[in-house]
Amino acid sequence: MINLIPLLIIIPLLGLIIGLLVSSSSEKYIGWVALIITTTHIILTPIFIVYWLLIGNINIKEIVLYHSNDYEFFIDFYFDHVTAVYLFTGSLLTFMVTVYSKYYLHSEKGYKRFFNSMLLFFTGYNIVVLSGNFETMFIGWEILGISSFLLIAFYRDRYLPIKNAMKVFSVYRIGDVGLILTMWLSHHLWHENVTFAKLKNLDIVIEHLETHTILGISISLFIVLAAVVKSAQLPFSSWLARAMEGPSPSSAIFYGSLSVHMGAFLLIRTFPFWENQISVRILVGSIGLMTAFVTNYIARVQPSIKGQIAYSSASQIGLIFLEIALGLEYFALFHFMGNAFLRTYQLLISPSSVAYLIKEQFYTYNEEKIEKEKSAFMKKIGYSFYVLSIKEWYLDYFMYRFLWKPLKWIGKKLKFIGNPYILLLLLVVYIISRVLLHNKISFVPIIEAQLPLIFSIFGFVFVLRSFSERYNAFLAWGLIIMSHLWIDLSVSFNQYFTFEHTLIYLSGILISGFIGFICLFNLSRKKENLDLAHFYGYAENHKVTNFFFLVACLGVSGFPITTAFLGKDLVFTHIQETQFLLTFLTSVSFVVDGIATIKIYSRLFLGEYKRQ
C-alpha cells in the first residue's frame, strides 16, 4: 500500500499525457479525461488518508536520480497530517472546479490548453504536498510556476493577460531562488539531502544549529523568502491580483485557494527547523500581520471583484502566517481549509455577486449621509488610507523601481556585448579556460582564487544583456546559453565539481538551446519578424514550433525535464558557504535567466497574430 502513494502524482500526470494526445476539436473527450482523472484522485485520497491514520507517518525514499561520494539527489515522499489536509483540500477543490469548468469553458478556443495546464498544475501541487525533502519539493515548485504562467496568459491574444503573466512569473522566480538557496545551505549544514522526517527530530536539529547558528538563521530566512513570495505577502502582494487575468475557474482553484497557500505549507513543513529561532518567528509573524493590515485596506477599494477576493485572500494568509509563527499549526491548517473553500466559492459565483452589488448600491445610495461623514476627523484619516490603497501602497512601483529597472538599466549599458567580435573573443577565452581547467593546468594562485568570481560576473553580464535585448531573438537566446557556460565554468574550480557534473548540467542546457535555435530558424525561414519589441502571437499559426520552443525555454530555465534541473542543484551544492558574492551572482543570474527566457517566448508566440 505504501508503494502506491506515488499514484497520487502519476494519475494527474497520466491525464496530462492523454490530454496532449487528444485532438483540440474533441472537446467532449478532453473534458471527460480531466473528470475521470480528478474523480479517481478524489476516490483514492481518502483511502490513503485512512491508511495513514492506521499506521502513522510515512516516509518513502522512492528514486535515487544521482549519487556520488559527496552528493545524493533522491526523490522522497512524506505523508503526515499536513499532507493529509492539503491533499484532501486540493483533490476535492480540483474535482469541483473540473466539473464546473467542463461546462463553463464550453466552446472556448483554449479548452484543451486549460485542462492540460490544470492537470500540469495538479501534478505539481501533489508533488509539493507529498514531497519528503527540498529537492522533491522544488520539482513541484517549478511546475506550479510555469503552469501559473500558462493559465494567467490563457487569453493569449490579449496584451494585459500576457503582461500580468510575465509579472507573476518574474516574482515567482525570486521565490524559486529562495528555495534553491535553502537547498544550497542545507547541504552545507547537514552534508546530505535532509528529509522533512529528519527535521522533526528536535535533538538532531538542535545539535546542528548549536554549532552553526548563522547558517541555520540564513536557511530559515531563505525559507521565509520563498514562502512570502509564493503566498503573496508583503512586499510581493501585488502579483496575486495580477494573476486573476485567467479564467474564473483557474483563478478560483490556483490563486484563490491552492497555489497561494504553498508558502504557508512550506512554513508548516519546515517549522520544526526554525521554531526555536525567535527572531525568525517574530519576522514571520510581523510580515503576516502587516500583510493582513495593508491588503485588507487594498481589498476594500478594488474596482473588480476578483481584485477584492485576491487581496482578501492575501490578508487571510497573513493571519495564517501569524498563526504559524505562534505555533498554532492545527489552527493554521483549519484556517487554510476555510480560506481555500471560501475563495473558490466566491470566485466561481463572482458574476452573480457583481450583479447583486450593483443593484444594492443603486437603491441604497445616500448622498446626504456621505457628505456628513466627510466632515469627521477619522474619516479624513480614512481617506489617506483610501488613497494609499487605491495605489496599492505603491507595491508594484517599488518592485519595478528598485528591482527590475536597475537590471534593465545595467543591461542596456552593456549593449556592446552584442558585438559579434566581442562575443567571438569571449567564446575563445571560454574555450581556452575550459581546456586549461580540464587538463588541470594551474593558474597563478592569486589570479586563480579570483577566477570563479570573474567568470560568474561574465555569466551575470550575459544574462543581463539578454534581459534587456529588444531587437534580436537569436542574440537574446544565444546570450542565455553563454551565461550558463560561464556559470558552470565559475563553479568548476571547486575540486569536487567534476567534468561529469559539467556534462550533467550543460547537456540539458545545450540540447534545449539547440532546439530553441531550430525553432527560431524555422520562424525566420517563414519570414516571421524576430525582434522582441512587440508581441507577435506566432502560437496561433505555428503550433508545433510554439510547443517545441516552450519546451526549449523550460529546459534552459532548469525545469525538471532535462538534466539541467539536476545540474543547477549540483552547481549550488558545490559553491562553498563562504563564497557569498559568487552565490549572489549565480542566483541572480538564474532569476534573470528564467525571466529573459520566458520573455522571448512571450514576445514571439503570445499576443495577437498579424502577418508581417
Half-sphere exposure of 21 (CA within 13 A, CB side): 7
423 and 303 both lie in a single domain: no
pLDDT of 409 > 90? The answer is no
Read off the pLDDT of each residue in 244-269 and give the average, rounded to a whole number: 87
Q: What pLDDT shows up at residue 517?
A: 95
**What per-residue string of b and e applies to 99-115 under the rule 16 or more CB within 10 Å gives b?**
bbbbeebeeeebbbbbb
Q: What pLDDT shows up at residue 354?
A: 55
**Do 417 and 475 form a contact (C-beta atoms < 8 A)?**
no
* Mean per-residue pLDDT of the chain: 86
> Which of 355, 372, 395 delimits the end of a domain?
355
* Chain segment 390-403, per-residue pLDDT in tens: 877 778 888 888 88
Of 533, 539, 531, nearest in space to 605 by CA = 539
d(CA 94, CA 557): 28
311 and 454 both lie in a single domain: no
Read off the pLDDT of each residue in 335-364 and give the average, rounded to a whole number: 73
324 and 436 both lie in a single domain: no
Q: What pLDDT shows up at residue 357?
A: 55
Site of grid cell 474523480: 39
d(CA 505, CA 269): 29
Q: What pLDDT shows up at residue 228?
A: 95
pLDDT of 608 > 80? The answer is yes
Q: What pLDDT shows up at residue 555?
A: 92
If one counts the domains in the chain, the total is 2
Read off the pLDDT of each residue in 182-197 and give the average, rounded to a whole number: 87
Q: Is there a domain that residue 407 lies in?
A: no
Residue 596 domain boundaries: 414-605
d(CA 268, CA 320): 10
527 grid coordinates: 519570414
* Chain segment 362-387, per-residue pLDDT in tens: 555 455 454 455 556 667 777 777 77
Q: What pLDDT shows up at residue 374?
A: 53
Question: Which position has the higher pLDDT, 58 or 443?
Answer: 58
329 and 451 both lie in a single domain: no
344 and 432 both lie in a single domain: no
Of the chain, the percentage scoring pLDDT greater than 70 comes to 94
441 and 340 both lie in a single domain: no
pLDDT of 447 > 80? The answer is no
470 grid coordinates: 529588444
126 and 207 both lie in a single domain: yes
pLDDT of 524 > 80? The answer is yes
450 and 320 both lie in a single domain: no
Cis geometry, peptide bond prior to residue 235 (ω within 30 degrees of 0): yes
Residues 6 or more apart whose CB falls under 8 angstroms from that of 325 comprise: 281, 282, 284, 285, 288
> Which of 336, 355, 374 delimits the end of a domain?
355
310 and 441 both lie in a single domain: no
Question: Which position has the higher pLDDT, 318 or 26?
Answer: 318
Question: Which position has the higher pLDDT, 578 or 48?
Answer: 48
Question: Which position has the higher pLDDT, 389 or 39?
Answer: 39
> Which of 316, 338, 355 delimits the end of a domain?
355
Q: Is there a domain that residue 362 lies in?
A: no
- Cα–Cα distances (Å) from 483 to 416, 433, 463, in that order, read 16, 15, 6
313 and 437 both lie in a single domain: no
295 and 425 both lie in a single domain: no
433 and 508 both lie in a single domain: yes
Read off the pLDDT of each residue in 293-320 and give the average, rounded to a whole number: 88
Q: What pLDDT shows up at residue 87?
A: 95
Q: Is there a domain that residue 363 lies in?
A: no
Q: How far is CA 86 from the centre of its chain?
A: 18
Q: Is there a domain that residue 13 lies in?
A: yes
Half-sphere exposure of 524 (CA within 13 A, CB side): 11
**Do 173 and 263 form a contact (C-beta atoms < 8 A)?**
no
**What per-residue string of b and e applies to 58-83 under the rule 16 or more CB within 10 Å gives b?**
bbbebeeebeeeebebbbbbbbbebb
User: Which is it for strands 58-67 and 72-79: parallel, antiparallel or unpaired?
Assistant: antiparallel
Q: Is there a domain that residue 378 lies in?
A: no
Q: Is there a domain that residue 109 lies in?
A: yes
Q: Report which residue type is found at 89.
A: T
d(CA 222, CA 245): 29
Q: Is there a domain that residue 405 lies in?
A: no
Of 187-191, 367-371, 476-480, give the lowest mean pLDDT range: 367-371
Read off the pLDDT of each residue in 523-544 and give the average, rounded to a whole number: 87
Q: What pLDDT shows up at residue 249?
A: 85
Q: Is there a domain that residue 587 lies in?
A: yes
**Do 164 and 242 form a contact (C-beta atoms < 8 A)?**
yes
pLDDT of 78 > 90? The answer is yes
Question: Which position has the higher pLDDT, 171 or 377?
Answer: 171
- Cα–Cα distances (Å) from 139 to 170, 326, 521, 565, in that order, read 18, 29, 31, 9
Look at residue 178 and give its three-state secondary structure: helix
**Do 130 and 37 form a contact (C-beta atoms < 8 A)?**
no
**Do 85 and 337 form a contact (C-beta atoms < 8 A)?**
yes
Q: What pLDDT shows up at residue 610?
A: 66
Read off the pLDDT of each residue in 218-233 and give the average, rounded to a whole number: 93
